[in-house]
Amino acid sequence: MKNLHTSAASSHDVPDTLRPALHPGASRAPLGVLLLGAVLSTGCGEPGTSLQARPVDAKGQGLTSLAATCQEIRTADPSAIDGEYTLHIGGDAKKPWTAWCNDMAGTPREYLSLMSGTNYSQYTVGGYTSGSSVRTYYAKVRIDPVTLRVFVADQTFAQSTGSLNHGGTLVTSMPYGVAMSCDNKASGVASLDLTGTPFAVAPHDFAVQGANGVGTTDYRAEGRRVNLTGGGYCGWNSWTPVWSPFNQTGGDQLHLEYRAPPVLAATCQEIRAANPSAVDGEYTLHVGGDQKKPWTAWCHDMAGTPREYLSLVSGTNYSQYTAGGSATGQNVRTDYAKVRIDPVTLRVSIADQTFAQSTGSLEHGGTPVTSMPYGEAMSCDGTASGVASIDLSGTPFAVAPHEFSLGGNSPAGTTTYSSEGRKVNLTGGGDCGWNRGSDPLHLEYRDAPVCMGQTAPGAYWQQYTFDSLSLDVDTSGCGFSETPMYFTSIGGTGYHWQTTGATSIILPTATGFRVIVRSPSSVTPAFASQYGWHLNWQAVPGSVRQPSLCTGQTTPGTTSWQQYGSDGLYLDVDTTACGYSAAPLYFTSLGGLDWHWRTTGATSIYQPTATGFRVYVWHRGTSITPVLANQLGWHLNWRAQPDGLRQSWNCTGRTPQGSTPWQQYTSDSLYVDVSTSGCAASGAPITSIGGTSEQWGLMGATSLYSPTPTGFRIYVRYPGSNLTPSLANQRGWHLNWNRR
């Protein structure tokens, strides 16, 4: 794994002639011109502010009838951009569907977004084939809006893992709706899941084919879900007719049918109505039945009168009546694990203590007090000694503004909202007085809070050693009350692609962090200033569990590092708690006390699945052990996001595995121009690199060049090797990206 073609030479031995002082084709324009398109200020505004407008429905665009195709959208509005639009089958107002219109500036094409995440095809290795099983996950499929046929070979919004040899042909991807194997068994599998869309798979669209073909086809949910098994020697189960259905074989051969749009449950009562045997537990509800507003509810008393509860992830939700003055006894504190919420109005019943526990008791004017409502701080000692904490971290909700007020005799107290409203800290008291929320307490639906920014180009770098610089990043404007996880990329006009350390986080706090960037040769703050080096950063709370974002961190000091050679380690990261059913995109940063800034590999993703991934960390030429890594506090921060997100404030994507358009730069380096077209968010990207081998030794995959609202460039280098675009694609190297 460590040797690409030749043994890796020390990065200190690289001559300056191999370093792009400017990216190819760039002129020595003023710095401000070179940085057009990058985010130039910090900010944590709510989604949608200062961003390109989101595409709108077909109505109101000058159309004389309802649009049936993306071409009709563009004809009515030539400035229309890639994004979601409402189309109507045959122009019929009763047959709407949400299409992703792609390549609106060229040849518009229609794609259907697959909501469930369980859409894949697999060629299972064995028997006649060698290598590893090939599985292709689909986030969207191309559909003909007139015939409703799916172009099964279109992999614009797909990602693949594995590779195998089929009779001398390299297989690296699978068309949509194919289960295949060559081991004389039906070990190939495929899943088609159109849940959340107004379409179903037409009946009788699949057949077992090939040599000694075997397999099964299982239609469910009125054709919205189809599970396939297939195989033989070699055989498959797929749409017909076809021969050798692998890589990008096939045309518009899968037929869909329009069905009335499904109704998404907004309440636990609706869950029970659809399934009378449903038991108490967690269910996904959607606010107002809106598929873009999911949340995880605990449905309680499903056998009686179903009620909805919101699980409080953080564990710091309590109300306290502090004893003293005329209130004699012990402090009364009630801790809440879940709160009851009205799923329609989003109001919390503050007195419901079904999932709460209390300690202490006191006398209040002759009345015994043994518990406190949610969101109330109280005392009778003449001071604001009562306390309360509301913490909705890890949920898609925030407390509405202006929900709290003082009351009682001589009331005193404070109300402190976090910047995004997910946390509220209260003090309250008087003689006797309190600070409490409205009853019921009003919440608002919010997407996951992500704060982002960029340091000033060329500024604030400090000398650390002769070949390294440090940078302290101020994130106090985010208003975090606890230390978030930080994810970074480095920008500039030259040379930063050959550094290490920009994604290694040191001394993180709620208000900032440090990075140390190491160069292959001597470097000074003046040099960094000359080439506009700057850090792009995103700050994300830990333990977020939302459909569009899941975050986590291995434990500093006890991370399960494993030895890999004398100077390398690897780590398997478990992301099962995210609940994804298909492999998301993973982004990482490496935390620790020291020395991790000298490594490569922490942002190189291996073996991504729905439940985890692996990273290899290379302390090139210097011995490292799991014990030493934990003594140094090395740990991995990670975030998972579905591929193909196109929210107005949040987009994800990746270059195609096996066919990324790498270009030769020098003998040991490549570059790629990454398109983010169709993304309304224009912040500086955060990146990671995926593949099947060797990417852990690369430099540059998180170093941005030429950022614009529609793309950016990345250079990668493996010192001392012989790199070619063909070799990079054989190893499956591809760029994952997120823009906000």
Q: How far apart are CA 106 and CA 497, in angstroms?
A: 33
| 219 within domain boundaries | yes
What dihedral angle (degrees, nearest 10) is formed by the CA atoms of 45, 46, 50, 55? 160
Query: Quick one: pLDDT at residue 58?
Result: 37
Chain centroid, CA 662 distance in Å? 25
- Per the prediction, the chain carries an average pLDDT of 87
In 10 A of CB 161, how many CB atoms? Answer: 22
The mean pLDDT of 329-337, rounded to a whole number, is: 97
480 and 552 in a single domain? The answer is: no
pLDDT in tens, 229-281: 999 999 999 987 778 899 988 887 899 999 876 678 999 999 999 899 999 99
Q: How far apart are CA 581 and CA 570, in angstroms?
A: 24
Q: How far apart are CA 502 and CA 517, in angstroms?
A: 6
Bridging pattern class, strands 130-131 and 412-417:
unpaired
Cite the DSSP H helix spans in 578-684. Answer: 626-631
Query: Quick one: pLDDT at residue 32?
Result: 26
Q: How far apart are CA 187 and CA 120, in angstroms?
A: 14
Per the DSSP assignment, residues forming a β-bridge with 617 are 569
254 and 282 in a single domain? The answer is: no
* pLDDT top residue among 310 and 476: 310
| 552 within domain boundaries | yes
Backbone angles phi, psi at 146, to 5 degrees: -95, -50
pLDDT in tens, 194-203: 887 899 999 9
What dihedral angle (degrees, nearest 10) is formed by the CA atoms of 234, 729, 159, 253? -50
Question: Above pLDDT 70, what percent of the chain?
Answer: 89
Q: Are 639 and 543 in contact (CB under 8 A)?
A: no
Backbone angles phi, psi at 530, to 5 degrees: -60, -35
Q: How far apart are CA 592 and CA 139, in angstroms?
A: 35
Residue 727: its H or E element: helix 725-730
285 and 335 in a single domain? The answer is: no
- Surface-to-core class of residue 186, CB atoms within 10 Å of its CB (0-12 exposed, 13-18 middle, 19+ buried): buried
Q: How far apart are CA 679 and CA 652, in angstroms?
A: 8
User: Which tokens is 428 given?
Assistant: 């309250």
| 441 within domain boundaries | yes
The mean pLDDT of 100-110, rounded to a whole number, is: 94
SS3 140: strand
505 and 628 in a single domain? The answer is: no
pLDDT in tens, 140-175: 999 999 999 999 999 998 888 889 999 899 999 999
User: Which tokens is 302 given?
Assistant: 């499903």
pLDDT band at 448 (very low <50, low <70, confident <90, very high): low
Q: Are 584 and 549 in contact (CB under 8 A)?
A: no
Residue 435 has pLDDT above 60, yes or no: yes
178 and 242 in a single domain? The answer is: yes
- Whichever domain contains 494, its CATH number is 2.60.40
Query: Quick one: pLDDT at residue 738?
Result: 94
177 and 203 in a single domain? The answer is: yes
User: Which tokens is 25 given?
Assistant: 């084709």
User: Which tokens is 678 given?
Assistant: 């169709």
The mean pLDDT of 678-684, rounded to a whole number, is: 81
| 726 within domain boundaries | no
Closest CA to 647 of 81, 105, 54: 54
User: Which tokens is 732 given?
Assistant: 């499956």
| 54 within domain boundaries | no
Closest CA to 737 of 573, 605, 610, 545: 605
pLDDT band at 60 (very low <50, low <70, confident <90, very high): very low
Query: Quick one: pLDDT at residue 161?
Result: 82
606 and 507 in a single domain? The answer is: no
The mean pLDDT of 72-88, rounded to a whole number, is: 91
Residue 681 has pLDDT above 70, yes or no: yes
Query: Quick one: pLDDT at residue 682?
Result: 81
Q: Which domain holds residue 628?
A: 545-641
Bridging pattern class, strands 669-675 and 711-717:
antiparallel
DSSP characters over 247-288: TT---S-EEEEE-PPPPPP-SHHHHHHH-TT--SEEEEEEGG
283 and 330 in a single domain? The answer is: no
* pLDDT top residue among 315 and 63: 315
The number of distinct structural domains making up the chain is 5
Closest CA to 670 of 712, 630, 725: 725
User: Which tokens is 619 given?
Assistant: 């302390």
| 287 within domain boundaries | yes
* pLDDT top residue among 427 and 38: 427
Query: Quick one: pLDDT at residue 222?
Result: 83
SS3 327: strand
* pLDDT top residue among 433 and 261: 433
DSSP characters over 521-556: S---HHHHHHTT-EEEEEEE-TT-EETTEEEEEPPT
Q: Which residues of 224-244 are buried (b: 16+ CB within 10 A; e: fewer)?
A: bbbbbbbbbbbbbbbbeebee
Angle at 443 between CA 300 and CA 378, to 5 degrees: 90
Residue 37 has pLDDT above 90, yes or no: no
389 and 487 in a single domain? The answer is: no
- Whichever domain contains 569, its CATH number is 2.60.40.2080
* Out of 213-222, 401-410, 498-507, 601-610, least confident range: 213-222
Q: Which residues of 462-500 are buried (b: 16+ CB within 10 A; e: fewer)?
A: eebeeebbbbebebeebbbeebbbbbbbbbbbbbbbbbb
| 735 within domain boundaries | no
165 and 244 in a single domain? The answer is: yes
Residue 553 has pLDDT above 60, yes or no: yes
Q: What does each C-alpha distance from 22 to 34, 464, 503, 523, 532 come to in angstroms?
A: 10, 25, 22, 17, 11
Q: What is the largest CA-CA distance in the chain?
A: 88
Query: Quick one: pLDDT at residue 25?
Result: 32
* pLDDT top residue among 616 and 647: 616
Closest CA to 191 of 207, 178, 200, 201: 178
Bridging pattern class, strands 376-379 and 318-322:
parallel
Residue 633 has pLDDT above 80, yes or no: yes
pLDDT in tens, 698-732: 999 999 999 998 899 999 999 888 999 999 999 99
373 and 471 in a single domain? The answer is: no
Query: Quick one: pLDDT at residue 634?
Result: 97
pLDDT band at 395 (very low <50, low <70, confident <90, very high): confident
The mean pLDDT of 110-132, rounded to a whole number, is: 87
In 10 A of CB 364, how many CB atoms? Answer: 17
The mean pLDDT of 462-482, rounded to a whole number, is: 90
Peptide bond connecting 245 to the previous residue in cis, omega within 30 degrees of 0:
no
Backbone angles phi, psi at 76, to 5 degrees: -75, -30
pLDDT band at 116 (very low <50, low <70, confident <90, very high): low
The mean pLDDT of 439-449, rounded to a whole number, is: 85
Query: Quick one: pLDDT at residue 141?
Result: 95
Q: How far apart are CA 156 and CA 136, in angstroms?
A: 12
Domain boundary among 445, 479, 504: 445
| 691 within domain boundaries | no
Bridging pattern class, strands 164-166 and 485-491:
unpaired
pLDDT in tens, 337-387: 999 999 999 999 999 999 999 999 999 999 999 999 999 999 999 999 999
* Out of 324-328, 338-342, 418-422, least confident range: 418-422
466 and 437 in a single domain? The answer is: no
Query: Quick one: pLDDT at residue 419?
Result: 59
User: Which tokens is 548 given?
Assistant: 């569009």
* pLDDT top residue among 293 and 101: 101
Return the residue matching tokens 């639009």. 85
Q: Global pTM?
A: 0.55
SS3 615: strand
pLDDT band at 648 (very low <50, low <70, confident <90, very high): low
* Out of 2-6, 73-77, 270-274, 395-399, least confident range: 2-6
Residue 460 has pLDDT above 90, yes or no: yes
Q: How far apart are CA 538 and CA 681, in angstroms?
A: 14
Closest CA to 487 of 599, 690, 638, 592: 638
Domain boundary among 396, 427, 445: 445
Domain boundary among 540, 570, 596: 540
The mean pLDDT of 627-644, rounded to a whole number, is: 94
Query: Quick one: pLDDT at residue 226?
Result: 94
User: Which tokens is 571 given?
Assistant: 């780590």
Q: How far apart are CA 725 and CA 706, in angstroms?
A: 21
Query: Quick one: pLDDT at residue 221?
Result: 79
Q: Which residues of 675-690 are buried (b: 16+ CB within 10 A; e: fewer)?
A: ebebbbbbbbbbbbbb
Query: Quick one: pLDDT at residue 261?
Result: 66
